[in-house]
Each structure stands twice: as C-alpha cells, then as structure tokens.
Copies of this chain bind each other. A is one copy, B any other.
Amino acid sequence: MRKSEISSAEIARLAGVSRSTVSRVVNNYSNVPPDTREKVMNVIREHRYVPNLSAQVLAGKGTRTIGLFMIEPEQVSRDILSNMMLVSVIEHASLREYCVLTSIIRDTSDEEAVRALKDIFYQRRIDGGIFIGAANEEPLIEELIAEGYIVGVVDQRLPGREEPNRVVVNFDNDYGMMLAVDFLHSLNHREIGIVTGDMKRSSGPTKYAGFEEAMKLRDLPVNGDWVIPGGFHESDGYEAMKSFLASDKRLPTAIIMANDSVAFGAIRAMRERGIDVPWDISVIGFDDHELSSRFQPPLTTIKVDFGVMMRELAEAVIVHIEDEEAGRFEYTVRSELVVRESCRKLQPWNAQRKG
C-alpha cells in the first residue's frame, strides 16, 4: 500500500546488481565505479528508495534521534520560551539530519513515569537526550549519565568530576544579575529586593546566587525581608508579591524578578494596592518575554537568547553522539540589559525609603 516500502534487495534486483553494491552506493563507498553507481542511483531515484531506519539501527547504526524532555512543564514555563527552545532544538537537529522525540514528565517522583521515560532510551535506543527544567542532581538524569547515555541539560552547575557524556549550557546568570544590580545601582538604588524563582529548579538557584554575588560586589546589603520566594509563573509573581505586601514590610526601592512572567504578576499585585511602577518601585525582569515590550509599563529586563542557547546545546549533544572522544562541554550564553520604562532614577537623597 505504501509507495516507498521498497527494500534494497528489490533495488538490487532492478539494477541487476547485488544488495551489497546498493548498500555501498547508498553509503557512498569509494570502491564502486561511476557507471555502476549511476546505474544504481537511477533505480533508487526512480523508486524513491529510502533505507529503513529500523534495519539500519539493527545493523549497528545510530537512531539519529535525540530526546527532548520537559520536566514538570507547569513548574518551569508554560509560555513562549519553552516553545522557542523546542523549535530551536528541532531546527538545529533537523539541519544535522537528526529527529527529535519529545516527551514530558510531570512528576519526577512518579516511578512509573520515570520508568517510561527511561524506556524511551532503552527501547528506542535514542542517541541522546536533552532535559529542560530538570532539578539539580535529578536522579533520573544522573542514572542515565551513569549508564552511558549522552545528556544535555540547561542551567546546572557541573559536578567536579569528569563526565564526558554530560553536556551543559548555562545562561550567565551571574552576569545577568550583575547587569541588573549595576543598572539599578547607577540609578541610585541601594535597597534592592528579589522575587526568586523556584529554588529547586532550573535557574532558580543560580539566579539567586548571582544576585547575592552582585550585591556583595557593589557593597549593597541583602535584606532578608526583600528576598521573596516565588516561582516562574505570572501567578507565582502575583501571589508572592501579594503576600509580601500583606505582611506590611517596608518596600525596597527596586525589585529584580525571576523572570518577566513573574514581573507581570508582581506588578499586577502591586497595582491592586495602588503601587505604581516605576514611580513607587522599580522593576527588572529576566528573559525578555514577547509581551514585555508591550506591557504597561514596558519592562526593563535582562534578555537571554534562548534560541542560541538551545541550538548550542543541541549541537553539543550531537557532537558528543558522533564523537565518543568529545571532551567535557559547557557553554554559557551571555545576557544583555534591555532598558525600557519600569525603572526610575532616584535622587541620591531618597535612595533610602522613609519608614
């Protein structure tokens, strides 16, 4: 029924050669004379012959497939970013003639789900996997690495030990936080708070560490009251800010948000209490969400090129698949400051908020 289900044996028969010769032609072996090659190629073209991947795999080739796994997608990002990451991986893989098998794992403590995911590696013999939103030291990932699979992750600290099959890309969160703090500092802010992301996941820990580091470098105190535990969603930002405001603690003059979605939510909560951004408080986001430029007020943010990031990760994973000897890999994506209208310059004398 299906047109293209023609075997190399059939091609061989039609071209009047042996199957070995067809295979040699298909795989570009040098020891086949031009006229024979042409003869075989004609038959191949005419019948649109394409080798059956399953057979190739069985005969020892790779699957040319990488897995793309989103861990607890609800906890990481429902929005455009993960979509862009997906597209970026797929398109780069496609360039290298790889395919992408996508899956989701909602709960890494669900043994059955973990088992199902590992079976994708075992059954399907995929060449490698990329994980988005994984916690640090996620057992699932550690096990896969230990078992010899090539795994790419985003935004995790590398362990000290050498592990040639672990591939990492990071945002330069330290640098990004430095940009944010420096910018606020240049606007005479000294009282800077943060709504953190999920501290167990993704960029949560590294962003917070970067924040502390940057504050320290500029001799600014980190006030525990202003370290507001959040998450990565609009609703997290809203809830975090709402409960902070309800606590009647003194406001900082500026707050850095785990990402732009969180900023949207936090600003919404502030607006409900009559707090104006940037007049009453300055806000900096992270990521440069598609809607940030159109938000009211347009959001100043630290922009990260997720497309480039995921492309680099995909490339690195593929390199490691194709070259067992490829060494340790770590790539860091620079971020940049995008200035819009959510931050206000303070006069030096009111850099400290009264009561």
Contacts and interface: CB of A to CB of B under 8 A. Distances in A.
Interface of A: 1-4, 48, 50-55, 57-58, 63, 65, 68, 70, 73, 78-80, 82-84, 86-87, 90-91, 94, 99-104, 106, 116, 119-125, 147-149, 234, 264, 268, 290-291, 294, 296
**Most chain B CB atoms below 10 A, which of A2, A116, A296:** A2
Contacts of A68: 102
Contact of A78 (B55, B94, B106, B290): B290
For the complex of A and B, the 10 pairs showing the least CB-CB separation, nearest first, are A54-B57, A50-B122, A54-B54, A1-B148, A4-B122, A102-B102, A83-B83, A53-B123, A2-B148, A3-B147
A310 to B, nearest CB: 13
Contacts of A294: 234, 264, 268
Contacts of A122: 4, 48, 50
Contacts of A4: 121-122, 147
A36 B104 CA distance: 36
Contacts of A58: 52, 54-55, 58
A272 to B, nearest CB: 11
Stoichiometry, copies per complex: 2
Contacts of A99: 101, 103, 120, 124
A103 B91 CA distance: 8
B104 A101 contact: no
Nearest to A117: B94
A147 B116 CA distance: 32
Contacts of A103: 90, 94, 99-100
Chain B CB count within 10 A is highest, among A84, A90, A123, A290, for: A123
Contact of A80 (B78, B87, B101, B121): B78
